[in-house]
Chain A
Amino acid sequence: MARICGICPVSHLITSAKACDALLAVRIPPAAEKLRRLITLAQVVQSHALSLFHLSSPDLLLGMDADPTKSNLFGVLEVEPQLARNGIALRKFGQQIIERLGGKRIHPAWVVPGGVSDPLSQQDRDAILAETPETLKITQRSMQWLKSVVEKFANDVDSFGSFPSLFMGIVKENGNLAFYDGKLCFVDATGATVADGLEADNYQKFLGEKVEPWSYLKSAYYIPKGFPDGMYRVGPLARLNIAQSCGTPLADAELQAFRRAYGMTTLSSFHYHHARLIEILYCIERMEELLNDSEILSTHVRAIAKPNALEGIGIAEAPRGTLLHHYKIDEQGLIRWANLIIATGQNNLAMNKSVLQVAQQYIHGEKITHGMLNRVEAVIRAYDPCLSCSTHATGQMALKVQLIGADGSVLDEVAR
């Protein structure tokens, strides 16, 4: 399962292993659970760093009307090289933890049904802990930078995927931010709870998936509200809109500031970036807590069992949002059926609506401008979509935008 994607393989491994835990009907050892939490958090840090620093920082630093040939990491390096270095440092931090735990950074086979294959050594624990203070400082410096640039985008924020929708994610029993396990929760645009305490095992009762002829992505929706009114968003912004708090001091202080600035429920997808950075802060703090728990060094890290159930469902929060794996096996333990609900598919309706909103705001006359096209790219980037696992397409997908007149004629067409 991990080989589906090179960006968040750990999330697929974790969710797959949890589905397999259900097939084995085992309760994994406490140390294994802590180690799985640790690698999940490391995955979030490295993936969020890629999204924010390498993909979206050019939009934020150079502006939405920048020359598209300059709007990339090299453009950032010319203007603010330390920002690019921060991104690389954070991504390297997350990748190295994955490598230390999983033996390799891209497709570790360390997370297994029943737990993990090997315990954490004290040497590796100490090495990771030694890096966390500097990593926290880098994140806090980056937070200051992000807050300073967001103010420049006041005109964009309100047309950047800013609309009422539902938000979904998993939360802990106390309502706090969760990545590894918890119950599913939906809130609406006012922050009111629409449904909570939802078990992933019952997902087919409330999560629908619609196939549209014009998209490789399935469009997920909340069944009680129907399609497309059941549109919901997942990922960093959704998680922070749902959570009571993060549960760690630095991240909670930033979450409070975030809510003071944008309200208790933030509707603009522009703020996915800010939410990502708050989550990085939380992940590093939480990793420190886990690593300082002596139980994490326990050598009892795997429960062994044969298949005890013919159907298993696993759920976790991937960097981009809620990820669900559902398997059915035969008596020999061979998988006969599988369904994966991917974060990018769950954001599909919201991404489409965001593109429409940008177009309505920035299309004037009969020509598509660079600024408009940049914003279309940027608003999609805010969701950090990952097409490797979320589509059924093959090959490289291009960005192609057509401006179609009221009579159906193509007025302009731009491709990148």
Chain B
Amino acid sequence: MTDALVIAYGNPLRGDDGAAWIVADQLSSMVRDSVHVLRVHQLSPELADLAHDKKLVIFVDASADEQADGVRCTPVAAKPRTASFWHHIDPEEILALSLALYAKSPQGFLITLCGEQFNHGFALSPSIENAIPKAVTEIRTLLTSNGFLLRSEVSASRI
């Protein structure tokens, strides 16, 4: 368990819901091979297979429930779900599946970006545009504080 996994999820066709993908794009040019960055439309059970052998898993999502201009970093612990029906699964459930299937549960965090508009289209709200660099900084801090080396700012800006 030496690598890290960043799972950015959302739908770029739905305004602010695509913010996590932008965070992932920016982050991809900053991280080394030990940090894997995924962009997905929604969380699905087999992500547990990718997550179980990681030291650290960071989920990135946009939400309409957060404070304006906000980026929130929340620790995520394994928690089995108590309902079924939808094609929907939470970060807690990914870690719980990892624990149940592989007896391993990596350390997890959820980075939530505040969103305002989730209508059809690519346009982002001003508040989520402000939140994106803050989220990138938050993830960089999480990675470095857990021992993951990043590429230098200079090489990242060239990419």
Q: Which residues of chain A have a CB within 8 Å of any CB of chain B? A: 3-7, 9, 50, 54-55, 58, 68-69, 71-74, 77, 81, 84-85, 87-88, 91-92, 95, 104-107, 377, 381, 386, 388, 394, 396, 399, 416
Q: 8 Å CB contacts to A: which residues of B39-70? A: 39-42, 44-46, 48-49
In addition to A6-B42, A106-B39, 16 A-B residue pairs with Cβ atoms within 8 Å of each other are A6-B40, A55-B87, A68-B83, A68-B84, A69-B82, A69-B83, A73-B84, A73-B97, A74-B81, A74-B93, A74-B96, A74-B97, A74-B100, A77-B97, A77-B100, A85-B101
Specify the main secondary structure of chain A where it touches its partner. Answer: helix
List A contacts of B97 (CB < 8 A): 73-74, 77
Is A91 within 8 A of B119, CB to CB? no
Is B75 on the interface with A (CB-CB < 8 A)?
Answer: no
List A contacts of B101 (CB < 8 A): 77, 81, 84-85, 88
List B contacts of A88 (CB < 8 A): 45-46, 48-49, 101
Contacts A6-B41, A106-B40, A394-B118 given; does A72 touch B83 at CB 8 Å: yes
Which chain B residue has the least Cβ–Cβ distance from A84? Answer: B101
Which chain A residue has the least Cβ–Cβ distance from B86? Answer: A396
Specify the main secondary structure of chain B where it touches its partner. Answer: loop
**Smallest CB–CB gap between B19 and chain A, Å?**
15
List A contacts of B96 (CB < 8 A): 74
Is B12 on the interface with A (CB-CB < 8 A)?
Answer: yes
Q: Give the docked Cα–Cα distance between A274 and B9 (Å).
A: 32
Q: Give the docked Cα–Cα distance between A210 and B136 (Å).
A: 46
Count of chain B residues with a beta carbon within 8 Å of a chain A beta carbon? 28
Contacts A58-B84, A106-B41, A416-B85 given; does A4 touch B46 at CB 8 Å: no
List B contacts of A3 (CB < 8 A): 11-13, 41
Q: Which of A7, A73, A87, A95 has the most CB of B within 10 A?
A: A73
List B contacts of A106 (CB < 8 A): 39-41
Could you say which of A4, A9, A416 contacts B83, with CB atoms under 8 Å apart? A416
Could you say which of A58, A73, A81 contacts B45, with CB atoms under 8 Å apart? A73
**Smallest CB–CB gap between A377 and chain B, Å?**
5
Is B85 within 8 A of A7, CB to CB? no
Ranked nearest first, the 9 interchain pairs of A and B with the lowest CB-CB distance are: A6-B41, A74-B80, A72-B84, A69-B82, A77-B100, A6-B42, A91-B46, A92-B46, A3-B13
* Complex A-B: 8 CB contacts under 8 Å: A6-B11, A9-B41, A54-B45, A55-B85, A77-B101, A81-B101, A91-B44, A91-B45
**Smallest CB–CB gap between A372 and chain B, Å?**
15
Q: Give the docked Cα–Cα distance between A416 and B97 (Å).
A: 23
**Smallest CB–CB gap between B44 and chain A, Å?**
7
List A contacts of B48 (CB < 8 A): 88
Q: Give the docked Cα–Cα distance between A226 and B67 (Å).
A: 52
Q: Give the docked Cα–Cα distance between A393 and B12 (Å).
A: 17
List A contacts of B11 (CB < 8 A): 3, 6
Which chain A residue has the least Cβ–Cβ distance from B64? Answer: A395
Is A394 within 8 A of B119, CB to CB? yes
Could you say which of A5, A85, A91, A399 contacts B85, with CB atoms under 8 Å apart? A399
Is A72 within 8 A of B45, CB to CB? no
Is A7 within 8 A of B87, CB to CB? yes
List B contacts of A399 (CB < 8 A): 85
**Smallest CB–CB gap between A47 and chain B, Å?**
10
**Smallest CB–CB gap between A55 and chain B, Å?**
7
List B contacts of A71 (CB < 8 A): 84
Could you say which of B13, B82, B119 contacts A72, with CB atoms under 8 Å apart? B82
Is A381 within 8 A of B41, CB to CB? no
Could you say which of B39, B46, B86, B100 contacts A81, with CB atoms under 8 Å apart? B100
List B contacts of A394 (CB < 8 A): 118-119
Q: Which of A3, A7, A74, A92 has the most CB of B within 10 A?
A: A74
Is B85 within 8 A of A73, CB to CB? no
Write the B112-136 contact mask toward A (1 if CB under 8 angstroms, else 0): 0000001100000000000000000
Which chain B residue has the least Cβ–Cβ distance from A58? Answer: B84
List B contacts of A69 (CB < 8 A): 82-83
List B contacts of A107 (CB < 8 A): 41
Is B42 within 8 A of A87, CB to CB? no
